[in-house]
Amino acid sequence: MASENASVSQTVDGTITTVRYARPRARGRANLFGSRVRWGEIWTPGANRATLLEVSKDVVLEGKAVPKGKYSVWVVVEPGEWEMVLDRDTTLFHTQGPKQRAGQIRFPLKREKRPFMEVLTWWFPEVGSREATLAFQWDTIYVPLRMTVTPSYTTAVSPAVARRVAGTYQFRMDPEPTSNDTTLAKPVETNATNIRFTIREQGSELRGEMDPPMYVTEDGYKSWILLPKGNTGWFLLARTDKGEIIEVFDFALLQFDGAADHAHGFEMRATNDQVIARGTRLP
């Protein structure tokens, strides 16, 4: 095909965003906007069938709420400000741009000038723990779309639970199993097995510091946030770097004991309920 089919997909905190499109090429043409793509035209950033955007959960694009689902993607191309149009009809051909009608999502677009790109491309140049940038470019026109997703977790802990959990614990972890297979490379590092874990209230959150860090060959294993699972004293551990959550350990839960005043300790349990670490409160 003159414009081959392509797709790009990115997961951000459990939200999957996918773009399916066909990729037109410049093929020696230049200054495509205003000539090949005419001013005033409602254009799909692709070719053949209209470009498709699908989000698995509600997101916010450029400050505009976009409910989960599938949309055909259109841009009103003008010499001045551009406008994005998301339409629920995903069966349209690229020459069937929809007029303004009920149910559409519309918002203004910013664009930048960048070095020439031969083939129209969608991609995710930036990805964070709760946000990402979805972008497309053709010719010298680059259009970034800032996206934030619906968080799958909360960091807020009730004051009563926070007071009961805060403190310093001796955290003993089982060593990671190692293989006797001599055809495999040796691990660069295995986890620390005896850690001093200090948990403090910080605003509405519980933040922890590990000494020594769980791992030292990579940043982000010293500072943690405890993510509550309900109001039961169960928590997920989320490691942070420069204050930002970079990974949630969803394969294990910290379960603090039921002491009324101050928890005496906790167990870390894997998803199969196996205890893989224990913490004991220090005086």
**Alpha-carbon gap, residue 75 to 275, rounded angstroms:** 54
Domain boundaries, the chain: 4-149, 159-281
pTM: 0.84
Q: Which residues contact 174 (CB under 8 A, 6 or more apart)?
A: 193, 276, 277
Residue 259, pLDDT score: 79
113-157 tens-digit pLDDT: 999 999 999 999 999 989 999 999 999 999 999 999 988 899 999
Per-chain mean pLDDT for the chain: 94
pLDDT in tens, 63-85: 999 999 999 999 999 999 999 99
Give residue 163's pLDDT band: very low, low, confident or very high (50, 70, 90).
Answer: very high
How many Å from the N-terminal Cα to the C-terminal Cα in the chain? 71
- CATH class for domain 159-281? mainly beta
